[in-house]
Amino acid sequence: MHGFASNVLSCEERERLEEELFEARTRGRNLSRLRHLTYRERVALDAREQAAQARLASHEVEHGCRR
Ligand SMILES: [Zn+2]
């Protein structure tokens, strides 16, 4: 099981999820700078970002590695 102090200090899974969230945000920002996004594209990008955020949040709760 997880939850040991050593895991809390450096959690690779959380780092991966944070990176995923950062990438989702960056991608959406870059795309919208390049051209006008359609409503569908905007919604898909938002959903992607929210899903990444939700995965990170639930991991922190389950694993107890919140900063
Ligand atoms: Zn963790």
Where in the chain are the domains?
A: 24-67
- Match 């200090």 to its residue by tokens: 9
Confidence of residue 7 (pLDDT cuts 50, 70, 90): very low
Q: How far is the CA of 10 from the centre of ligand 1 (A)?
A: 8
Indicate whether this model's pTM tops 0.85.
Answer: no
State the Cα–Cα distance between residues 24 and 5, nearest whole angstrom.
29
Tell me the CA–centroid distance for residue 16 and ligand 1, in Å.
10
Look at the block and give the residue holding tokens 């919208």.
Answer: 32
For residue 48, report the distance from its CA to the centre of ligand 1, in Å: 21
What pLDDT, on a 0 to 100 scale, did the predictor assign at position 5? 52
pLDDT for residue 1 is more than 80: no
CA of 3 to the centre of ligand 1 (A): 8
Each residue's pLDDT tens digit, 12-27: 999 999 999 999 999 9
What's residue 66's pLDDT? 72
CB 11 within 8 A of CB 63: yes
